[in-house]
Amino acid sequence: MVISQSMRIGMLGSKFMGRAHSNAYINAPKFFDLKRKIVLQNVCARNEASLKAFAQNWGWLNWTSDWRKLVTDAEVDLVDIGSPNHLHFEPAVAALEAGKHVVCEKPLANDLSEAREMVKIAKKHRKLKSYVWFNYRRCPAISLAHELIQAGRIGRVLQVRCVYLQDWGGPDVPLFWRYQKKYAGSGALGDLAAHSIDLMRYLTGDEVKSVNGAVLSTVYKKRLLPEQTKKWGRVDVDDISLFLTTLKSGAVASFEATRLPQGYKNHNKIEIHGDKGSIRFDLERMTELDYFDSDSSTNTQGWSTINVSEGGAGHPYASDWWPAGHNLGYEHTFVNQFADMVRDMNGLPPRTPLPTFHDAYEVQRVLEAVMLANREGCTIPLSQVK
């Protein structure tokens, strides 16, 4: 290991994503040979008091409540944007303009015009990297699925089915930012289906051609304002989003995202059917990939549950961590992505393709088309949404 130079991080956000990303910065160098020293240089959040405790706990060298200072901090090489959706656009653009690499939480932006602009700026700065935290690409089971599909192990893809379910969004949850369009852009759609669309694109290499029907349903139309017991506000995003698409290849893909169905904690499920086999993944059992191989022995064909943890078997990322059968968890997806980002910034190939601003823009186009299809009650060709 030669540490040629350091990689200094500046991060916006100190909540769930702030913790998950900090963890990645600390642990990636322990498990991967990054060939750079990783420095937790500067962190930004609005609440100064809690920010200091956060920074000290995670080992951030500096902290600030002014994101403009962070994104222009001369000591920062990579700006990580983990703030709510409406606070992606401005910092991302400013960071790129300041010559920083950027990695942004998903969905990329609060609306399509922001996303379009972000891609434009990113393209302008050819030497800078612009990544998005579509971290689930790096569940080892998902990365393996990518390898299998690329290698033709399920044949020609005919159909994709994505269902992303959580159950925390019942009527008792107050009207925090995720329930307001101005902060979140959309509800379960942007929060959850964005991941699914990215996974579909990543795994199949295909693109949505049209959205052929969409239902965005708001089940609980009013919610109590946060920290209030009597004042109610209007929810203007979806609780349940369902949509059907056709893909450029001629395949079809269906999507569903909601935070209501009782019993599902983090059921990010994707299933892909080819003419020679199928793959199936559920984030709640993230160490497993199910695979059906139509070319295997006729009398023993069945869904094979692969424990994707065996370095010696070539399972992605397995040899970086523990011996076979010693499970990884949620946060490892961020560690894996960060390790690949560093490889990429070092000019080395990532283990599996990294999600870029361009990828996230394509996702955002689909989100936009879904909202249009729901409003218009008719099919929306993606070509109309740019």
174-233 positions binding a second copy, by CB under 8 A: 212-215, 217, 219
Q: Does 170 bind a second copy (CB under 8 A)?
A: yes
Taking the complex as a whole, how short is the minimal distance between the CB of residue 68 and a second copy, in angstroms? 28
Can you tell me which residue has the tokens 């932006």? 109
Taking the complex as a whole, how short is the minimal distance between the CB of residue 226 and a second copy, in angstroms? 17
Residue with Cβ nearer a second copy (116 or 161): 161
Given 23, 72, 249, 319, the residue binding a second copy (CB under 8 A): 23
Binding residues with a second copy: total (CB under 8 A) = 102
Q: Other C-beta atoms within 10 Å of 49: how many?
A: 8
Taking the C-alpha atoms of residue 317 and residue 293, their distance in angstroms, rounded to an integer, is 23
Site for a second copy in 80-99 (CB under 8 A): none
Of 89-97, 108-116, 178-186, 253-261, the segment contacting a second copy by CB under 8 A is 253-261
Site for a second copy in 254-313 (CB under 8 A): 254, 256, 258, 260-267, 271, 273-278, 283-294, 296, 298-307, 309-310, 312-313
Instruction: Give the angle 274-275-279 at the CA atoms, nearest 5°.
Output: 30
Nearest to 195 by CA among 112, 267, 116: 267
Task: For residue 235, give the 3-state DSSP assignment.
Answer: coil
Q: Does 252 bind a second copy (CB under 8 A)?
A: yes
Q: Does 338 bind a second copy (CB under 8 A)?
A: no
Site for a second copy in 42-61 (CB under 8 A): 53, 57-58
Please give the span between the terminal C-alpha atoms of the chain, in angstroms, as a whole number. 45
Q: Is 292 exposed, middle or buried (0-12, 13-18, 19+ CB in 10 A)?
A: middle
Q: Does 18 bind a second copy (CB under 8 A)?
A: no
Q: Give the C-alpha distances (Å, rounded to integers) separating 309 from 70, 91, 315, 334, 351.
A: 38, 37, 6, 17, 15
Nearest to 149 by CA among 306, 310, 311, 291: 291
Site for a second copy in 122-161 (CB under 8 A): 144, 147-148, 153-154, 158-159, 161
Residue with Cβ nearer a second copy (95 or 244): 244
Given 16, 227, 229, 386, the residue binding a second copy (CB under 8 A): 16
Residue with Cβ nearer a second copy (109 or 192): 192
Of 79-87, 179-187, 200-208, 327-335, the segment contacting a second copy by CB under 8 A is 327-335
**Radius of gyration over every alpha carbon of the chain, rounded to an integer in angstroms:** 21
Taking the complex as a whole, how short is the minimal distance between the CB of residue 108 and a second copy, in angstroms? 22
Taking the complex as a whole, how short is the minimal distance between the CB of residue 106 and a second copy, in angstroms? 16
Which two structure tokens, joined as six digits, stand for 292?
């059906």
Helix or strand holding residue 213 (H, E): strand 208-217
Q: Which residues contact 373 (CB under 8 A, 6 or more apart)?
A: 211, 212, 213, 214, 243, 379, 380
Residue with Cβ nearer a second copy (260 or 385): 260
Residue with Cβ nearer a second copy (72 or 246): 246
User: What is the DSSP-derived secondary structure letter of residue 239?
Assistant: S
Given 5, 314, 383, 384, the residue binding a second copy (CB under 8 A): 314
